[in-house]
Structure 1
């Protein structure tokens, strides 16, 4: 199958677009076209069972109105095993509005489960570089979204995905990359189990959809993500042994995750990034009906809830409302609630406890990096999480990165790729656990 990258298009320059394009000029080419291949994609068994959709063309239909994203009938979902590919389509992926991505690409709709174990259909994007190596990377984009307009599957079509420059490091090594919409169809932002299952079922779907010439049962798998993407990656690692033991995960790279949701909420409440606290309340309330927002929020809070419910954090290239830039900076949560401290409400405490990282260990090594001056998660929380993983038997390579939250995503990306490359090669990882225990 041959997928042709789109020609470069002229669009009005926008400040943020120009910034990211400048950084990615060497990482993408608008004239690149993948070679013709004799490999059947998908394999005949998948093609016979799944519905094929045509390649989407611009202007792209938003997920809420796109038939490809529609939820299958409940009975069909219930009868379908997790990770099963139900629909698929070829796509022409795009980076930063101007450039095609150097990969053949498909999108798949696959069965997964939500926070409460109910079946749902999610979408993943599969990127296959020229001459792919037997390596599969699940890259979790930090789309931190409350609307599917910021889902990776939509941003890779429109060219608005900020993190393309990071995943391109993997594509250049020949790794096959899967980008799951791990928040699911209801964008349950920061719902850990929902996200972890979305990641693992996306890997299952990729292993089924891609031909054995590229990916087979023995192909090693790695997880990588930053910020919200790190949260999803770590949740996937923590539940993998029980939920998807057949996936041969060999390593995890996670940067800047919210190590403790309650601590992060207290840290940013009333500060510049207070809007992220409000977004977290919206996302978690979609996963847990025990969060009674009608009772807990006052009139201003309900107005805030509606306003934030169609936003995404840090996705300015997608031209979507950002809760950090929408007038909530330096606001206190108590001004929007009927209680003095939302974090003392038993139902909220239970949800926070259920979504806490570091509750389970995993039998694969972890590269954990965190900005020394991170605005969202105190560095002491990051060290505590690394120590908890050590106590649970994880070999942790823990590094602080000079700078703040955004800069650390860039400065440590190459180190994360090198770490995962060594895990793919079967090299013995370094561990800082002895030092962490002594601190």
Structure 2
């Protein structure tokens, strides 16, 4: 399945070039202002806009209004949204969502029978929750999360603790989520990161429950930290308020890479968005931290990581459609094509083309523009203090997600008075994940057992 989508990706990169009428003579690009601006102009002269006929969505006018009301932006935004996967738990927008409180449970489905292929260790029950949350602009939305409960009664003090496993979903399609895989069994889009590192399994063996949020929301807004932070905090609210036996539980979060984006959003939003969870969430460990997209614009652009970087840009654009208005016709073809439903293993393969982001924009030097600077500022969530103790780690030899971003986050949180620890580990993204994980999960285990965290600020 994924190999066929990879071939589709390569074809779609080329097919817009043949969309112009056969009789048209492609103009020669004007390169007087630099190579890339000339190529950008040439792309929009040669490649027509994609045909866009989306079904209308009631949220579109609000999103376009927030983006400045650019002509055609509503239709373009709708055309980039993920397709339905045929399961109303993930597809259906609940009626009367305004009447639900954030974190209020809308629907519960028992997925015990299908979840075993991902969980691997014995467990008593797996419940898929659908609950109300909030999008990046403060509007009602919904999300899903799966709670896995181990066998046996909890024998420790209080209610059973819960480990929140913020997996690096890193996908644009709804079937890329762990919740979809847990609900549908051995699905085609299962990722190795659904199993490794084995946070869910270790939590269950310790007697903890494991909560696995689908933190990208219904629009699959990959890499958008506000959506992810809200979805995670509301998943905790859903478990505490919607399921018996967890109203007195403590929760600890762990996320790496794309999961660290989500965890970063959650800890910074907790004080304002979910202040009642202060003291309930006892700590968060995050590693391989993409905390600053301005750094990633230098490290992931025009190299083998560019496919992931472009995919993340499309994910953020689903909640910040002003980005779509800065895309040229080529990028619009890609964003509205079947690639909008692919997972990271497919769009990540585009890195072999080493395309610079400039080739997708309709204005020069997009990554160094004032427009990009504002996106960097917003997604960096600067100045927001974590309400929970932090354990931050990063590979010192990271070249795509440099340790600079994680260290800056640590220093920022220390300056704000947060409780934080930073660990530099050997290796790049994969080696750093393996070597940094044991101490991170041990740190989180101590928090769940009630051991107070010591700051190293």
Q: Which range, TM-score by smaller chain?
A: 0.7 to 0.9
Task: Between the two structures, name the one with larger relative contact order (CA 8 Å, sep ≥ 6).
Answer: 2
Q: Tell me how far apart the structure 1 counterparts of residues 215 and 424 of structure 2 sit (CA, whole Å).
A: 27
Note closer, same or farther for the CA distance 1:286–1:150 as it changes in structure 2 (3 Å cut): same
Q: Tell me how far apart the structure 1 counterparts of residues 452 and 416 of structure 2 sit (CA, whole Å).
A: 19
- 1:95 and 1:161 in contact (8 A); partners too: no
Note closer, same or farther for the CA distance 1:356–1:327 as it changes in structure 2 (3 Å cut): closer
Task: Please tell me the root mean square deviation across aligned C-alpha atoms, in Å.
Answer: 2.2
Aligned residue in 2 for 1:106: 127
SS of aligned partner of 1:222? strand
Aligned residue in 2 for 1:289: 321
Note closer, same or farther for the CA distance 1:238–1:327 as it changes in structure 2 (3 Å cut): closer
1:179 corresponds to which of 199, 212, 216:
212
1:376 corresponds to which of 380, 400, 403:
400
Higher alpha-carbon Rg:
2
Q: How does 1:212-227 map to 2 (within 5 A)?
A: 212=245, 215-216=246-247, 218-227=248-257
- 2:261 and 2:290 in contact (8 A); partners too: yes
Q: How does 1:338-353 map to 2 (within 5 A)?
A: 338-353=362-377
Aligned residue in 2 for 1:122: 143
Note closer, same or farther for the CA distance 1:141–1:132 as it changes in structure 2 (3 Å cut): farther
Q: Tell me how far apart the structure 2 counterparts of residues 104 and 374 of structure 1 sit (CA, whole Å).
A: 39
- Per the normalisation by structure 1, the TM-score is 0.76
- 2:122 and 2:151 in contact (8 A); partners too: no
Q: Tell me how far apart the structure 2 counterparts of residues 187 and 297 of structure 1 sit (CA, whole Å).
A: 19
2:226 corresponds to which of 177, 190, 193:
193
- 1:169 and 1:417 in contact (8 A); partners too: no
Q: Tell me how far apart the structure 1 counterparts of residues 131 and 166 of structure 2 sit (CA, whole Å).
A: 16
- 1:258 and 1:376 in contact (8 A); partners too: no
Q: Tell me how far apart the structure 1 counterparts of residues 316 and 142 of structure 2 sit (CA, whole Å).
A: 19
Q: How does 1:74-113 map to 2 (within 5 A)?
A: 74=95, 76-91=96-111, 92-94=113-115, 99=120, 102-113=123-134
Deviation of 1:300 (Å) = 2.8
Aligned residue in 2 for 1:235: 265
- 1:357 and 1:385 in contact (8 A); partners too: no
Deviation of 1:73 (Å) = 4.2
SS of aligned partner of 1:351? helix
Does 2:335 correspond to 1:311? Answer: no
2:170 corresponds to which of 116, 140, 144:
144
- 2:398 and 2:429 in contact (8 A); partners too: yes
- Per the normalisation by structure 2, the TM-score is 0.74
Q: Answer 1 or 2: which has greater helix percent.
A: 2
Q: Tell me how far apart the structure 2 counterparts of residues 99 and 190 of structure 1 sit (CA, whole Å).
A: 28
Note closer, same or farther for the CA distance 1:223–1:356 as it changes in structure 2 (3 Å cut): same
Aligned residue in 1 for 2:70: none
Note closer, same or farther for the CA distance 1:197–1:232 as it changes in structure 2 (3 Å cut): same
Aligned residue in 2 for 1:21: none
Deviation of 1:341 (Å) = 1.6
Deviation of 1:135 (Å) = 0.5
- 2:305 and 2:351 in contact (8 A); partners too: no
Q: Tell me how far apart the structure 2 counterparts of residues 377 and 161 of structure 1 sit (CA, whole Å).
A: 20
Unaligned residue ranges in structure 2 (runs of 5+): 1-82, 155-159
Q: How many residues align?
A: 359
